[in-house]
């Protein structure tokens, strides 16, 4: 499990990092709002611990921009010395999942992290995400950077398969078997459907997500070999 901690107090940050790593989490950190927002928007984390009072932009703005501009639904626990009801409501109003008042026990922070992760992991099994690409397995709705994507039935199946395996390479044979079983059409069929998916998924955007691994198959990831 990867956790991002955005906290400008060096002592608090060091204590939280040490304790979370002791509990087995992989932890990244940032000490200002803009740096934290960049990491949160460009990297995949299972949860974010976010301080409210930060240099640059505050935690409320980080949370709001992460939800509205970046389209990220990563669970967020906000940390603050403010314990007024209005402050807690403001944090929840911009998209935070929980609110912890300083000073706090590290054991309580971990307990809240574990509780949120248990809830979110159950929901995320049906909500796939790779970078700014989202796909709901229940509604079959796909979007990238907040823009809806129109896919044909084969495109839906391909997208789900590639996202579920991301960032691993999915071999051509695996995709063909999953799509057509034993009744595999001619060799150009998969290539044609991959091309159609790429036109929808990558062409309107600056950064490709669908990558060809020549002679092997395809992978869906934020970075990869050139097509």
Instruction: Tell me the whole-structure pTM to 2 decimals.
Output: 0.56
Here the tokens at position 63 are 């949370």
Q: Kindly report the number of other CB atoms within 10 A of residue 179's CB atom.
A: 18
Segments forming the whole domain that contains residue 105? 2-124
pLDDT for residue 124: 57
User: pLDDT tens digits for 206-215?
Assistant: 899 999 999 8
User: pLDDT tens digits for 82-138?
Assistant: 777 777 788 788 888 998 999 999 999 999 999 998 887 655 557 888 989 999 888
Please identify, among 93, 124, 155, the residue that sits at the C-terminal boundary of a domain. 124
pLDDT for residue 187: 64
Residues 81 and 167 in one domain: no
Task: Name the strand (E) or helix (H) holding 212.
Answer: strand 210-213
Q: What is the CATH number of the domain that holds 207?
A: 1.10.10.10
Residues 173 and 212 in one domain: yes
Residues 44 and 96 in one domain: yes
| Rounded distance between C-alpha atoms, residue 167 and residue 161, angstroms | 11
Q: In the chain, how many H helices and how many E strands?
A: 8, 12
C-alpha distance across the termini of the chain, in Å: 30
Q: Is residue 150 part of a domain?
A: yes
Q: How confident is the model at residue 184 (pLDDT cuts 50, 70, 90)?
A: confident
User: pLDDT tens digits for 13-34?
Assistant: 999 999 999 999 999 999 999 9
Residues 13 and 105 in one domain: yes
Q: Is residue 225 part of a domain?
A: no
Q: What is the CATH number of the domain that holds 79?
A: 3.40.50.2300
Nearest to 93 by CA among 109, 108, 105, 78: 78
Here the tokens at position 114 are 């574990």
Backbone torsion region of residue 95, taken as left when φ is above 0, otherwise alpha when ψ lies between -120 and 50, otherwise beta: left
Residues 107 and 23 in one domain: yes
Q: Give the three-state DSSP class for 207.
A: coil
Which residue stretches of the chain are H helix?
A: 10-22, 33-42, 59-68, 85-93, 106-124, 153-165, 172-180, 188-201
Residues 119 and 133 in one domain: no
Backbone torsion region of residue 81, taken as left when φ is above 0, otherwise alpha when ψ lies between -120 and 50, otherwise beta: alpha
| Rounded distance between C-alpha atoms, residue 106 and residue 176, angstroms | 49
Tell the burial category of 89 from Cβ atoms under 10 Å away from its Cβ (0-12, 13-18, 19+). exposed
């Amino acid at each position: 499990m990867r956790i991002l901690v955005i906290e400008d107090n060096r002592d608090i940050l060091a204590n939280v990092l040490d304790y979370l790593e002791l509990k087995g989490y992989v932890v990244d950190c940032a000490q200002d709002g803009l740096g934290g927002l960049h990491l949160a928007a460009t990297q995949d984390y299972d949860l974010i611990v976010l301080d409210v009072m930060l240099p640059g932009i505050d935690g409320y703005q980080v949370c709001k921009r992460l939800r509205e501009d970046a389209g990220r639904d990563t669970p967020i626990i906000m940390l603050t010395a403010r314990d007024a009801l209005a402050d807690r409501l403001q944090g929840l109003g911009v998209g935070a999942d929980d609110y912890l008042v300083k000073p706090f026990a590290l054991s309580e922070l971990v307990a809240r992290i574990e509780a949120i992760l248990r809830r979110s992991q159950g929901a995320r099994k049906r909500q796939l995400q790779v970078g700014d690409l989202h796909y709901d397995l229940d509604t079959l709705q796909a979007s990238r950077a907040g823009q809806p994507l129109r896919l044909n039935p084969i495109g839906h199946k391909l997208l789900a398969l590639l996202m579920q395996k991301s960032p691993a390479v999915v071999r051509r044979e695996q995709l063909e078997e999953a799509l057509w079983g034993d009744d595999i059409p001619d060799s150009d069929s998969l290539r044609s459907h991959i091309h159609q998916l790429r036109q929808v998924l990558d062409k309107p955007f600056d950064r490709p997500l669908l990558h060809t691994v020549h002679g092997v198959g395809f992978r869906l990831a934020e970075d990869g070999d050139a097509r």
